[in-house]
Structure 1
Amino acid sequence: MGMSGRPDAHLPRERSALRLSLVASAVLAVLGVGWGMAAGSQAILLDGVYTLIGMALTSLSLRAARLMDAGPTPRYPFGRESLAPLVVGMQGLVLLGTCVYAALDATRVILDGGVEQVSPGSMAAYGLLTAVAALAVHRYLRRSDPASDLLDAEARQWWAGALLSLVVLTGSVLALLFSDRLGSGPQRYLDPVLVLAACLLLVPQPVRMIRTMAVELLEGAADQPVQQAVSDRVDRVGAQFGLGQPALRVGKIGRKLYVEADFIVEAGCWDIADEDRVRREIASQLTDLPYDVWLNVELTTDPTRLR
């Protein structure tokens, strides 16, 4: 049984938020690449390239959102929600690859003796500007649709971008404060060291995104808070009908939440109409969850169903 626990109004909101993210990415990508090349800063250039890659991935997310919003079709009778974790995982893999490449390049620069001195003032100005912009977009995405995996991945990208900008800002401010004491020698390593620090901070984000893809595509259990929310509602209905503890399975793929509840009953005491009443009541209890819930409820005399 399929039922939507998520208002249709959320769907255009998701696409609208992705479009805004795409426009913001385009602006900051051009700014970052241009500023980085003009200032000769690898850290700023990394930020710009990171945002540029994010822009391409946002376009992919937008396309995936349109396909998922189309719902079930004769060719895809259960919809195409698997696109959500697939796109999230692709984003994670690309971003992880970007971090690894940047870290290796920064290490090479350090071993080669650093780079020509980059103006800390210019880097600080860039870091402040882009950090504020990234945090603003991140906040907007988080508030647009908390149940959207695509917006969650998008928000993670912006949070990672904000961290990168804050690393650039912090390092530049420290360089300005201690430039007289350090001299020009250590400042040659400022840019690659900032790149390495940023990569270390960014890596957990794509790793989590890749893990999300693996768990959902392999039909793993939903996160504990989601499972608990479903379990509480199913248990409440079970108690209402005098049923025992069910075998409950909860899986999630994108916006779709699969719920299967099997109750063991005595032979001859329940019929199909009773099962329908239990199913309808559980369905009613789950409507407040922000997912498209696909529910299956079974009353059975077979105790092996609880295994």
Structure 2
Amino acid sequence: MTERNILLVSIGVTTLFALLGVVWGVAIDSSMIIFDGLYSLISVGLSFLSLVVLKQIQDKGATEDSRYPFGKAHFEPLLIVFKSLSLIGMCSFSAINSFSVLLAGGRSVAPGPAVIYALISTLGCLAVMLFIQRNNKLIESNLLTVEKNEWLGDFLLSLGVLIGFSATYMLQDGRYNWIVPYADPGMVVMASGIFIFLPLKSFIGAAREMIFYQVNDQSMKPVENEAADIANEYNAKYKLRMVSIGRELNIEVNFLLEENRLLSVEEMDAIRSRIAIVVSKMKKQHWINITFTQQPLWL
């Protein structure tokens, strides 16, 4: 299944849950269920934006190449930053609004219908999350990873709602029935606080890519080992720079040779091939720049 088709499935199901959540929440006056529906509704808009960006990234026309001579890989982390900030803003607003309801004495909600909604939502979110995760194993798309994380957030949110309203249902006729009015806004405050961290994690990862932060040591190690072996063979020094931008790797290797050491064209091509073979195993699009200099010191 293609990346675009997976996003379309996600958008379709998200739209259904968004409408269901908003309508059901308004009907029983539950801010928690309305929050769940609005979270899904915002996700629909962000998923459509993902499709637009995906189309831009995959467009290989000559006009596009001239407008973006260094590629469009940076579109992906830019989109992830925007999506993450949107969800963080929505969670922050919901938490503040529900906290004011708590201070005002809470809100009574019929827990029975809320439990039914939460059960439907929990099972649906789990199914879509597993669907995206399974199909993304071969594609390894950052956009689909973020999409899966959004469904994971929806699943955990719905599960929390299910547990919370189930407990409220059992307490409504007991000695602790005074808790019932605080359950709905209280769950919104807790859910909003927790779910800020999921988009925050995506935001930090995408922001690191946008400022060209070096990839982690585990990703660098294979290239580093090959560059070190080549440097030892030619009695040279090397410097490796490696950054990840969206679905692309940008790699630069500088070999510093001894002053009187000359490499033939065949030797330089062989070195480039060795580095390229290692990088190709990482299953990501990549740009490789390898240079050879003869000077006693790095400039």
TM-score (norm 1): 0.88
Give the gaps of 5 or more residues in structure 2. Answer: none
**SS class of match (1:140):** helix
User: Structure 2 CA distance, aligned partners of 1:303 and 1:25?
Assistant: 60
Q: Is the alpha carbon distance of 1:277 and 1:70 closer, same or farther for their aligned partners in structure 2, counting shifts above 3 Å?
A: same
User: Which residue matches 2:77?
Assistant: 85
Indicate the SS of the match to 2:255. strand
Aligned alpha-carbon RMSD (Å): 2.1
Partner-residue secondary structure (3-state), 2:96: helix
Indicate if the aligned counterparts of 1:167 and 1:197 stay in contact, CA closer than 8 A: no
Partner letter of residue 30 of structure 1?
L
Could you give the per-residue CA deviations for residues 228-274 of structure 1, whole angstroms, max 9, x where no partner exists? 344345446656x5565631111011111001112222232423331
Q: Is the 8 A contact 1:264 1:300 kept in 2?
A: yes
Per the alignment, do residues 263 and 124 of structure 1 end up closer, same or farther by CA in structure 2, a change over 3 Å counting? same
Question: What secondary structure, in the 3-state scheme, does the structure 2 residue paired with 1:181 have?
Answer: coil
- Does 2:186 match 1:197? no
Give the secondary-structure state (helix, strand or coil) at the position aligned to 1:145. helix
What SS does structure 1 have at the residue aligned with 2:290? strand
1:155-234 paired onto structure 2 within 5 Å: 155-234=148-227
Q: Shift of residue 137 of structure 1?
A: 1.6
Q: Say whether the 8 Å CA contact 1:275–1:298 is kept in structure 2.
A: no
| Shift in CA distance, 159/182, structure 1 to aligned 2, threshold 3 Å | farther
Partner of 1:111: 103
Aligned to 1:284: 277
Instruction: Find 1:134's aligned residue among 125, 130, 144.
Output: 125
Checking the alignment, whether the CA contact within 8 Å between 1:163 and 1:201 is kept in structure 2 is no
| C-alpha distance in structure 2 between counterparts of 1:237 and 1:69, whole Å | 35
Counterpart CA distance in 1 for 2:266 and 2:133 is 43
Give 3-state SS (helix, strand or coil) of 1:264's partner: strand
**Deviation, structure 1 residue 278:** 0.4
- Separation in 1 of the partners of 2:28 and 2:255? 67
89-98 vs 246-255, greater mean Cα deviation: 246-255
Write the deviation string for residues 33-84 of structure 1: whole angstroms up to 9, x where unpaired: 1111112110000000000000000000011001101146111122211110
Q: Which runs of 4+ in 1 moved over 6 A?
A: none
3-state SS of 1:246 partner? strand
Name the residue aligned to 1:97.
Answer: 89
CA distance in 2, matches of 1:112, 1:277: 73
Bigger drift between 277-286 and 174-183 goes to 174-183
Q: 1:177 to 1:168 in 2, by over 3 A?
A: same
Shift in alpha-carbon separation, 1:195–1:230, aligned structure 2, 3 A? farther
The 10-residue stretch of structure 1 (198-207 or 244-253) with the greater mean CA deviation from structure 2: 244-253
Query: Structure 2 vs 1, CA of residues 121 and 245 (structure 1 numbering), >3 Å: closer, same or farther?
Result: farther
CA distance in 2, matches of 1:224, 1:268: 31
Match of 1:3 in 2: none
Q: Which amino acid aligns with 2:85?
A: L
1:148 aligns with 2:133: no
| 1:156 Cα deviation from its structure 2 partner | 1.2
2:24 is matched with 35
- SS of the aligned residue for 2:254 comes to strand
CA contact (8 A) 1:233 1:286 kept: no
CA contact under 8 A between 1:43 and 1:194: conserved in structure 2? yes
> Is the 8 Å Cα contact of residues 245 and 263 (structure 1) preserved in structure 2?
yes
What SS is found at the alignment partner of 1:270?
A: coil
Q: Which amino acid aligns with 1:96?
A: I
Between the aligned partners of 1:86 and 1:222, the Cα distance in structure 2 is 17
Question: Any gaps of 5 or more consecutive residues in structure 1?
Answer: 1-11
Aligned match for 2:48, one of 59, 62, 79: 59
Mapped contact 1:91–1:209 kept (Cα < 8 A): no
